[in-house]
Structure 1
Amino acid sequence: MHYRRRVAISIGTERLVLRRWREEDKEPFAALNADPVVMEHFPATLSREESDALAERIDAGFDAHGFGLWAVEADGEFIGFTGLSVPRFTARFTPCVEIGWRLARSAWGRGYATEAARASLEDGFGRAGLTEVVSFTAVPNVRSQAVMRRLGMTRDPAEDFDHPALPEGHPLRRHVLYRIRRQ
């Protein structure tokens, strides 16, 4: 897949700033990734080293694809990420572009995930020239599925899948897949 390479420096919404990553984001990002409640629908929490490596991979996505997972700020504080990425596994719906988010618990329940994701979609469909974006999560993650629906994404249960990175029998292996197309 080839994408436009021009990357915006930041995106502003009514309450949030979506921007490229900074070194000072790594500490609060590590705390977020070490929180078992935030990571409930992921296979495991992340160590500081794993979290730092993830932050580096996330930021490199902007240079590789022209879009990425933005660091999100509310009231000048890093609260997590939202944006677009290319999944690193193979499934029947890949290659594709995925929208995702992960916010600190202190930011939950305020509509930040939806607000930031909506801005990311607008950027992806506009500047990056995408025509379709998917999102997926483990079946029990009803909060993320609610965000997907608020974004106007639709689910076809026939497209649900077993995540290839998780072993047979893992409680998070079954995933739902949502899609949105450029209107």
Structure 2
Amino acid sequence: MSSVPVPAPRSERIELRVITPAAAAELAPGTGDGGFSWAPGGPYEGTRDACGMIVKAVEGGVYDPGWGAFAIVRLADGAAVGGAGFHGPPDEGSVEIGYDLAESARGQGFATEAVRLLTGYALAAPGVSRVLAHTEPANTASQAVLLRAGFVRDGDSEDGLPRFVLLPG
């Protein structure tokens, strides 16, 4: 089913660990930790929302663990500092990513590192020719993460969100 290896790669400081359907079912309603030891302020709202999408994908029979969500785990202490993942499997060569960090982990480069790992993972998959991301207009910190990770601004989405794209090479 999955066309990319799971788990995703790791860097010297972080590892992206698959959030399984069971962990997602615990995280989505906001009552559990999904088996992760979270940094203060985590998991953040976006991670819980992504877990809700995993639960729906499983229920609909379309879940693919290679294109789901991952916990961003800090290797120094094993704490999950955020979440990163895909909005679904590739569609016509494109895949969209999303990410967030616990407030206590922000400003330390973890988001940029996670985005680089996630995009490398995606672009190594057969048939993926671009990675997309959208941010809230006022979220300049997230826009800076994308630019540091090699994305370029590519206009706005239909709902007015700034759109960023990363192409191979």
TM over 0.5: yes
**Alpha-carbon distance in structure 2 between the residues aligned to 1:114 and 1:162:** 26
Shift, 1:86, TM fit: 2.9
Q: Residue 116 of structure 2 aligns to a residue in which SS?
A: helix
Which residue is 2:164 aligned to? 178
Q: Does 1:56 align with 2:49?
A: no
Does structure 1 retain, via aligned residues, the 8 Å contact 2:7–2:17? yes
Q: TM-score, normalised by structure 1?
A: 0.66
- The answer as to whether partners of 1:20 and 1:70 remain within 8 angstroms in 2 is yes
Cα shift at 1:59: 8.2
**Offset at residue 19 of structure 1 (A):** 1.0
* Structure 1 gap segments, 5+ residues each: 88-92, 164-173
Displacement of 1:162 in angstroms is 4.4
CA–CA distance in structure 2, aligned partners of residues 94 and 161 of structure 1: 17
C-alpha RMSD of the superposition? 3.6
How many residues matched?
152
CA distance in 2, matches of 1:95, 1:6: 14
Matched, 1:78 2:77: no
What is the TM-score of this pair, normalised by structure 2? 0.71
The one-letter code matched in structure 1 to 2:52 is: A
Deviations 1:105-135 (A, max 9, x none): 0110110001011011111111354110111
Q: Percent identity?
A: 27
SS of 1:152 mapped into structure 2: coil
Determine helix, strand or coil for the equivalent of 1:127.
coil
- Residue aligned with 1:66, SS: helix
Residue in structure 1 matching 2:110, options 112, 121, 128:
112
How far did 1:71 drift?
1.2
Q: Which moved more, 1:78-87 or 1:132-141?
A: 78-87
Residue among 138, 142, 162 paired with 1:140? 138
List alignment gaps of at least 5 residues for structure 2: none
Relative to structure 1, the CA distance from residue 82 to residue 128 in structure 2 (aligned partners, 3 Å threshold; closer, same or farther) is: farther
**Could you say what secondary structure the match of 2:138 adopts?**
coil
